[in-house]
Amino acid sequence: MTKLEEKLKIENMRPGEEVLKVVKRHWIVFVMLGLYFLLGLIITIIIYWIFGFGVWGNLINIVIWLFFSLFLFVEWLNHELDMYVITNNRIIGIEQIAFLNRAVSECNLGQIQEVNSKTSGLLANIFNYGVLSIQTAGNKTTLKMTFCPDAIQTSRKILNIVDNYRDEKNIKENKEY
């Protein structure tokens, strides 16, 4: 069990509940952040080329890098903290919307109506990521995660977990009669 699963088990679990799978975003989003960083380096070189290494060039670069590093940190945080936690009773969707804005959605496995995955584009097929959508019977109709690693296999695994949950529930209900 990973440290993340142990932490989730301690903090948020109901009695008899166990973590079956934790789905986080694909590592490709961090490559995109690295490309933003390279863009910042190019901007730094251009500013030094225009203003030189004097006071103004240094001051402009410091101000730009302060804002740019804050932007990179917030973007990293938004992608790092998004996850689905699949247990034997429910799915918990944690989405970091903005810096201090988080949405936590939770649904019982019995409420899940369908699980869809979509992989489109050359990079998504090469690096095996896509969009995972879980449609529920509750008020929030869809839980959606973009940049889900191995989206097709993850959707199959979630469907298998849901089927096992429903089978166990039917067996328990039949034993009661």
What pLDDT is recorded for position 17? 85
Q: What's the pLDDT at 107?
A: 86
CATH of the domain at 117: 2.30.29.30
In total, how many domains does the chain have? 2
Assess whether 63 and 120 both reside in one domain: no
Structure confidence at residue 11 (pLDDT): 66
Q: Which residues pair with 130 in a beta bridge?
A: 148
Q: Are residues 113 and 164 in the same domain?
A: yes
- What's residue 3's pLDDT? 65
- Per-block average pLDDT, block size 10, for the chain (177 residues)? 58 80 91 92 90 86 92 89 89 85 86 91 93 82 87 93 87 65
Domain that holds residue 160: 3-25+82-176
Please indicate, yes or no, whether residues 19 and 38 belong to a single structural domain of this protein: no
Both 86 and 131 in one domain: the answer is yes
User: How far, in Å, CA of 55 to CA of 52, rounded?
Assistant: 9
pLDDT given for residue 157 in this prediction: 94
pLDDT of residue 138: 65
Residues 111, 72 within the same domain: no
* Judgement on whether residues 36 and 72 belong to the same structural domain of the protein: yes
- 48/110 same-domain check: no
pLDDT value, residue 42:
94
**Residue 88 sits in the same domain as residue 66:** no
User: Is residue 113 a contact partner of residue 90, using CB atoms and an 8 Å limit?
Assistant: no
CA-based R_g, the chain, Å: 22
